[in-house]
Chain A
Amino acid sequence: TQLLEQSPQFLSIQEGENLTVYCNSSSVFSSLQWYRQEPGEGPVLLVTVVTGGEVKKLKRLTFQFGDARKDSSLHITAAQPGDTGLYLCAGANSYGKLTFGQGTILTVHP
């Protein structure tokens, strides 16, 4: 069974601060996805990283896949209240099954 440890579980910061969320596993994934979920809605895909060492940027969000494809990080620069939400990482195996981290609840205060 593949496990994906996501940290921190909760993050409460002021507008303008930077933050990093981590996902770690002892298993190798064929790809890793990051999702954002707002209350009452389903997770929405933000990005998929596939290659070890890959870095992708989405405006103020930077996603990195570890060289060994066992871990990933999400860095947000100058957080805004609109970034508030639940962030989920999910590792995929070659058969399309996803293993989700526990999630990080981010609150950005104005």
Chain B
Amino acid sequence: NAGVTQTPKFQVLKTGQSMTLQCAQDMNHNSMYWYRQDPGMGLRLIYYSASEGTTDKGEVPNGYNVSRLNKREFSLRLESAAPSQTSVYFCASLYGTGVIEQYFGPGTRLTVT
């Protein structure tokens, strides 16, 4: 199993450009999450999807949209990138029964100039 995979690994955008971050998991997990990580602020939840066909806002959703394409894939879109969105983005998945444990992808380092 590859676990949680993310593409791309690195990306540089100019202000106003758009892009989509891709995430896929092969663990048959129900729930998927997008976080951003900034120095000194831990991980902050952007959006999550508790199951296929549903999405909900997290702590910092402004400027982002998501699509739960199927059970495996959960994408994050920046429609008009801003320098404040420079960050490292992590996707995670969770099985959701019993003990709560999330498994993370390797991250996408995004720089917006």
Contact = CB atoms under 8 A, between A and B. Distances in A.
Contacts of B44: 100
A102 B106 contact: no
A98 B104 contact: no
Interface in B1-50: 4, 31, 33, 40-45, 48, 50
A30 B100 contact: yes
Contact of A102 (B31, B42, B92): B42
Interface residues of A, number: 26
Interface in B60-93: 90, 92
A82 interface: no
Nearest to B90: A42
Interface residues of B, number: 26
Given A42-B104, A42-B106, A102-B41, A97 B99 contact: no
A35 B90 CA distance: 14
A76 interface: no
A50 interface: yes
Interface string A71-110: 0000000000000000010101001111011110000000
Contacts of A6: 42
A100 B92 CA distance: 13
Contacts of B113: none
Contacts of A92: 100
Nearest to A29: B100
B79 to A, nearest CB: 25
Nearest to A101: B42
A64 interface: no
Interface in A11-59: 30-31, 33, 35, 40-45, 48, 50
Instruction: Name the residue among B44, B58, B101 with the largest chain A CB count within 10 angstroms.
Output: B101
The 4 closest A-B pairs by CB, nearest first: A42-B104, A100-B42, A92-B100, A100-B43
Interface of B: 4, 31, 33, 40-45, 48, 50, 58-59, 90, 92, 94, 96, 99-107
